[in-house]
A and B are shown apart, each in its own frame.
With several copies, the nearest count.
Chain A
C-alpha cells in the first residue's frame, strides 16, 4: 500500500482503479468557430474550435486531392500549477502532432481538396490526461463543423500507480505514478489512432492497461454521442455522466 492507493484500494481522489473522473461535454460553445466543443474531465477544461474547410495559406501548401489538417494544442498560462510561458513548448508541439495524427484517420479529407481544416485546442486547466480529453472534444467539434467522418475519435488514458493498473490518470497520478498510457481509438472501426506511453509496464500490465484504456474510451464515447444527440436531436439523454 502506497501513497497513491489507500488501504481500501482507492485512489487519491477516491476513485476505484477502473473509474473515470466526472466528465462533461458541451457543443457549440464558441460563436465564431465553424464547430466547437468544451470538455471537462476531472479538473481538465479544454475548449476546441474548428475552422474550415477554408483556403490554404500559403497557397502552395494546398493538396490537390484532399484537405490539409492542422492542429494546435496550446495551454493557457494559467492552466497549470506554475505559470506556463505562452510560447509553444516542445511538449505542446509534439502533442499537436500526435493529436493531428490521431484525428486524421477519422476524417474524409479527400472530400475537401485544396482546403485546410484547422483544429485549435486550448487547455484552460490541465489535470492529467489533457491530450486525450482534448482529442475527445476535438472529434465532437469536427462533427459540429459538419466535416465528413468515418467515425468519432475518443481518447482515454490508463496507467499504473503504486503497482496498480488504473484508468484515467489525474495530475498527481501522472506525475508520481509509474506509467501513463494515453490511447485514442475509432470505437466503431476498432482502430487505434493514438498511442503513447511512458513509465514502466510489464507485458501483462501493458495488456491490462491497454484493455482498460479501450474500455474507458467506450464509456467516453457514450458521453460524446449523448452530447451530439442532445445538440442535434434535442434528446433528453444526459450529456454529463458523473459515473454511469
Chain B
C-alpha cells in the first residue's frame, strides 16, 4: 500500500493525463468518477472456515475467512461476544508487499473495516454472550489479500461482510450453567449490511474505487461506511492531502448513494443468507 505509493514512479506525464481525463469526467479505464469496477462476490470458498468469501473489485482480490470459537469476554464488555478482525497484505499480492507482521497500512485497513462492521452493529454481539462475564462466542475474521490493485478498504470490507453474512457457526447452549454444544450450526445474528465507500480526491475531482495507479497520484482518500438504515457508521480520511468542507459533505452524500447500490449487490452475493 504505502510501498506502492513510494515505489511506483509517479510519472508526472501520466498524472497530467489522468487529471486531464478526470477534468472531463473520465478515467484511464473508461469509468466515470463515481463508477466502481466490476465487483464479484463468491462465498463458501473455504470449507474448513465457518464462513468465507472471495471478493474481487477489478484486479484487487481478497479472501476473508471466519472462525468461531468460545472465548472469555473482555472485562469492559462482559455481556458481549468477541469480534476480532485481522488483515494481512500477503507478499504474493504485490511486488511491494513484504513478509512480516502487519505494517501501519495493514493495521489501518483492518481497523477501519472492523469499525464499519462493529459500529453498524452488523452483528448483535449481545446475542453472542453465552455466560455473561464468563464465556462468549469469539468471532475471528481473517483477511488474506491476494492481489492489490487499489481500494483494499472496500474489497476487504465486502469480503468480511459476505463471510460473516454466510457464516454457520457451531451452536452452543447453556444447560445448568454449563456451555454445551448443540450440534446445530446457526447463522450469526446479522442485523444489517454495512457498506464502505472509498473515495479519492485527485486535484479537484472526487472519484470512487481508485485503482493502484490512481492511488499513486491521489491527494487524499476518504472512506465512509453506511449501514442499511441511512446512517453513517464509520469514517476515515487518509493520505497527506486535505479535503475541503464541501468535499467532506459530498463524500458523505456519495457514500450513502453508492452504498445503497452495493448493498443490493452484496445481498445478492450472499444469497440465501437472510439479511
Residues of A with Cβ closer than 8 Å to B?
Answer: 30-33, 36, 43, 45, 47-49, 51, 54, 72, 74, 76-83, 86-88, 90-91, 93-94, 96-98, 100-101, 104-105, 118, 120, 122, 124-127, 175, 179, 181, 186, 189-203, 206-207, 210, 214
- Bound CA span A205–B32, Å: 30
A–B pairs, 29, beta carbons within 8 Å: A30-B146, A33-B92, A49-B92, A49-B93, A51-B92, A72-B91, A76-B142, A76-B144, A78-B49, A78-B67, A79-B46, A79-B48, A83-B69, A88-B99, A90-B107, A97-B105, A98-B238, A125-B48, A191-B242, A192-B243, A196-B236, A197-B233, A198-B118, A203-B252, A203-B256, A206-B232, A206-B252, A207-B249, A214-B245
B222 and A195 contacting across the interface, CB-CB below 8 Å: yes
- The answer to the question of B176 belonging to the interface, with a C-beta cut-off of 8 Å to chain A, is no
B197 vs chain A, min Cβ distance (A): 13
B33 vs chain A, min Cβ distance (A): 20
A218 vs chain B, min Cβ distance (A): 12
- Bound CA span A100–B99, Å: 16
Chain A residues closer than 8 Å to B231, beta-carbon distance: 200-202
Chain A residues closer than 8 Å to B140, beta-carbon distance: 77, 83
Q: How many residues of B contact A (CB 8 A)?
A: 69
Residues of B with Cβ closer than 8 Å to A?
Answer: 45-49, 52, 59, 61, 63-67, 69, 75-76, 86, 88, 90-95, 99, 101, 104-105, 107-108, 110-111, 115, 118-121, 140, 142, 144, 146-149, 222, 224, 227, 230-245, 247-249, 252-253, 256
Partner of B245, one of A43, A47, A124, A190: A190
Which residue on chain B has the smallest CB distance to residue A191?
Answer: B242
B227 and A200 contacting across the interface, CB-CB below 8 Å: yes
A203 and B230 contacting across the interface, CB-CB below 8 Å: yes
Partner of B48, one of A43, A186, A194, A200: A43
Chain A residues closer than 8 Å to B232, beta-carbon distance: 197, 200-203, 206
Chain B residues closer than 8 Å to A193, beta-carbon distance: 237, 242
Partner of B235, one of A186, A197, A214: A197
B90 and A120 contacting across the interface, CB-CB below 8 Å: yes
Partner of B108, one of A81, A97, A186: A97
